[in-house]
Amino acid sequence: MSKLALEHFLPYRLNRLSTAVSLRFRRVYGPHHNLTIPEWRVLATLGQFETMSAKAIGAHSAMHKTKVSRAVRALEERRWLKRRESVDDRREEFLSLTAQGLEAYADIVPRALAFEAQILATLGPQAQALLGALDRLEETFEPGRS
Amino acid sequence: MSKLALEHFLPYRLNRLSTAVSLRFRRVYGPHHNLTIPEWRVLATLGQFETMSAKAIGAHSAMHKTKVSRAVRALEERRWLKRRESVDDRREEFLSLTAQGLEAYADIVPRALAFEAQILATLGPQAQALLGALDRLEETFEPGRS
DNA sequence: AATGGACGGTTACGAAAGCAACCATCAAAA
DNA sequence: TTTTGATGGTTGCTTTCGTAACCGTCCATT
């Protein structure tokens, strides 16, 4: 009867690594302790694209629309995000960061990049291999992403 | 001002890949649709080691003790797992799979291995690179694992 | 023997997540 | 213009999860 060593099983290892990295990444938020991952993703997306609808944010950051909706509201209550209603389609709203939001973004991003760089640095020459494998796997498991 | 492309950000990519793989892995459970990941991990651990305490299962499968406790009860209600109380320390219980549990394990494992093999196959020569990088990262982020 | 701290395991409670139902709006067809 | 179906977004319900509190047991000190 064939056995399976859980600790070497790829899905398990990926899950563990992902949660460990996410956990460690929390520290990067720095003074903004109580930021959740969905909130970070919305922040990052709006920092990247300036203005977007909630739907577009969800598409870009791979989040369910309810997750986006709640994260948006949380950021809005934090005064990091403002809504502007669309004139030609009054169902959607255009979301963008406030000055405070941009400030937080500008504060977090360099630390996030440094965090990522540190990970890649510990990998050394293996880093490119990992990124290449990630490309390949994403294209296998998450088709329909640009 | 430095920007960050979320779609290329390593923690984000790892998280996405991990959930995509886990999701796909669900299909592998086959007829046992309604098995959760914690339940699968307990099953896999007991299949691997025959008999273990809940605490040991948690240590091996990286799960919080409450998660283990609930998964154990679920498997017990499914008649896949039985408890035997320890004589020399009556706080702990020794857990092991029933005949039904072993049957399910024997049913799932080959499919799980095939699933993993398929992933590694699509990576081709990159597979070893990924596994190597995983080793390295685990050792960085999850110290204190054998 | 008695007591106090540590430990294995369960449970109550609050936070987060997804599904489904819903609301308002749009677009197209009748 | 009315109707019908689809769409952007929010909310209610349920499940899942972690923290903390708890229970019973062990063990070390006294």
User: Residues B6-50: pLDDT tens digits?
Assistant: 999 999 999 999 999 999 999 888 777 789 999 999 999 999 999
Banded model confidence at residue A144, pLDDT cuts 50, 70, 90:
low
Instruction: With CB atoms and an 8 Å threshold, state whether A21 touches B41.
Output: no
Question: Is A3 a domain residue?
Answer: no
Using a 7 Å cut-off to protein CB atoms, list the covered nucleotides of chain D: 7-12, 16-20, 24-27
A21: chain B residues, CB-CB within 8 Å = 10-11, 14-15, 137, 141
- Give the count of domains, chain B: 1
User: Residues B75-96: pLDDT tens digits?
Assistant: 999 999 999 999 999 999 999 9
What's residue B31's pLDDT?
Answer: 75
What's residue A142's pLDDT?
Answer: 74
Question: Is A91 a domain residue?
Answer: yes
What's residue B146's pLDDT?
Answer: 37
Q: How far does the CA of B48 sit from the C1' of C5, in Å?
A: 35
Banded model confidence at residue B130, pLDDT cuts 50, 70, 90:
very high
Question: Is B146 a domain residue?
Answer: no
What's residue B118's pLDDT?
Answer: 96
Question: Is A146 a domain residue?
Answer: no
Question: Is A34 a domain residue?
Answer: yes
Percent of chain B whose pLDDT exceeds 90: 87
> Looking at beta carbons, which pairs linking A7-11 to residues 24 or more positions away fall under 8 Å?
A7/B60, A7/B145, A9/B44, A9/B112, A9/B116, A10/B21, A10/B116, A10/B119, A10/B120, A11/B18, A11/B21, A11/B22, A11/B25, A11/B115, A11/B116
Strands B81-85 and B93-97: antiparallel
User: Residues A7-25: pLDDT tens digits?
Assistant: 999 999 999 999 999 999 9
pLDDT, mean over chain B: 93
Percent of chain B whose pLDDT exceeds 70: 97
A103: chain B residues, CB-CB within 8 Å = none
Q: Which residues of the protein are close to the nucleic strand D, CB under 7 angstroms?
A: A 53-56, 65-66, 68-70, 72-73, 89, 91-93; B 36-38, 63-64, 66-67, 70, 88-91
Please check the confidence at residue B145 and state whether its pLDDT lies above 60. no
| Rounded Cα gap, residues B124 and B133, in angstroms | 15
Banded model confidence at residue A145, pLDDT cuts 50, 70, 90:
very low
Output the CA angle B27-A5-B56, nearest 5 degrees. Answer: 105
Question: Is A1 a domain residue?
Answer: no
Nucleotide lying nearest to B90, CA to C1' measure: D25
Structure tokens, A76: 């809005």
CATH (domain of B54):
1.10.10.10
Which H or E element spans position B85? Answer: strand B81-85
| Rounded Cα gap, residues B130 and B125, in angstroms | 9
What's residue B1's pLDDT?
Answer: 78
Instruction: With CB atoms and an 8 Å threshold, state whether A17 touches B44.
Output: no
Its domain, for residue A121, covers 9-141
Residue A85 to chain B, least CA–CA distance (Å) = 25
- Output the pTM of the full model: 0.94
User: Residues A28-78: pLDDT tens digits?
Assistant: 887 777 899 999 999 999 999 999 999 999 999 999 999 999 999 999 999
Q: Which residue has the higher pLDDT, A107 or B34?
A: A107
Residue in chain A closest to B102 (alpha carbons) equals A1
User: Residues A129-138: pLDDT tens digits?
Assistant: 999 999 999 9
